[in-house]
């Protein structure tokens, strides 16, 4: 079993909350850092990052299309490609895309493992159609 006290990966927390004692930004480490990075990649559109306009995943562009098996495969392929290209710390095991008609959304579940950590992580993301 890997040693959990050893910090291998670290990123800033997306909430940008400071520690009340040290006044420094909180950070995510190891599993939480990679999970946050994968979620950020899925939710980022092309062109959103100012100096890295080629980074992103085009899943938001699919939200207003009729949900079919073909669209489901396109979303999966987009997620696989994005994570494979831009997140070397994660290896995707599986991706499940479901239509959530009751929520007017698409549910994405990504199972992946971190390099040097055999335990799988499951990430659930809800992509909502907002008008």
Task: Specify the pLDDT at position 1.
Answer: 46
**Angstrom distance (rounded) from CA 128 to CA 126:** 6
Phi, psi angles (nearest 5°) of residue 61: -65, -20
- Residues of the chain short of pLDDT 70, as ranges, are 1-5, 7, 131
Inter-axis angle of helices 31-43 and 69-86, to 10 degrees? 130
Task: Specify the pLDDT at position 5.
Answer: 58
pTM, two decimals, is 0.82
Task: Specify the pLDDT at position 85.
Answer: 93
* pLDDT tens digits along 39-61: 999 998 888 888 888 888 888 88
Task: Specify the pLDDT at position 74.
Answer: 94
B/e letters for 41-57, b = 16+ CB within 10 Å, e = fewer, are bbebeeeeeeeeeebbb
β-pair partners for 29: 10
């Amino acid at each position: 079993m890997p040693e959990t006290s050893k910090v291998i990966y670290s990123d800033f927390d997306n909430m940008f909350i400071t520690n009340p004692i040290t006044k420094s930004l909180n950070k995510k480490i190891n599993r939480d850092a990679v999970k946050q990075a994968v979620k950020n990649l899925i939710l980022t559109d092309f062109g959103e990052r100012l100096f890295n306009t080629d980074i992103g995943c085009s899943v938001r562009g699919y939200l207003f299309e009729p949900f079919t098996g073909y669209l489901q495969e396109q979303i999966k392929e987009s997620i696989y490609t994005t994570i494979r290209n831009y997140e070397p710390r994660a290896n995707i095991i599986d991706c499940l895309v479901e239509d959530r008609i009751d929520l007017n959304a698409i549910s994405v579940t990504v199972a992946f493992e971190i390099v040097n950590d055999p335990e799988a992580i499951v990430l659930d993301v809800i992509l909502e159609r907002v008008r």
